[in-house]
Amino acid sequence: MSVYYPGCNTTIPDPTCSDCPTKELGGVRSLWLQKDTFAFSDITDVAEWQAAINNKDVYVFPKTRGSMEQAETESPGFGDQSTNVDGYDFTINAFEPNFTENIDFWNAIKKSNNYKVGYRTETKVFLSDDACGIIPKAPVGEDIKMAVVWNLVFKFSQEDYPTASDIPVTVFDRCVAV
Q: Write out pLDDT tens, residues 10-46.
A: 788 888 888 888 899 999 999 999 999 999 999 999 9
Mean pLDDT for the stretch of residues 93-102 = 96
Considering the chain, what is the average pLDDT of its residues? Answer: 92
52's enclosing H/E stretch is: helix 46-54
Mean pLDDT for the stretch of residues 37-63 = 96
The least confident of 6-20, 50-64, 91-105 is 6-20
Hey, which of 75-79, 89-93, 109-113 has the most confident mean pLDDT? 89-93
Give the per-residue pLDDT at 1: 61
Q: Beta-strand (E) ranges in 6-81?
A: 30-35, 58-61, 65-76
Residue 177 pLDDT > 60: no
Give the per-residue pLDDT at 5: 59
What are the C-alpha distances in Å from 31 to residues 14, 107, 167? 31, 17, 12
Is-above-0.95 flag for pTM? Answer: no
The least confident of 88-92, 147-151, 174-178 is 174-178
Give the per-residue pLDDT at 174: 82
At residue 63's C-alpha, the angle toward residues 58 and 67, to 5°, is: 90
Query: Which strands sit side by side in the sheet containing 58-61, from one edge to the other?
Result: 58-61, 30-35, 115-120, 124-127, 165-166
Mean pLDDT for the stretch of residues 119-123 = 97
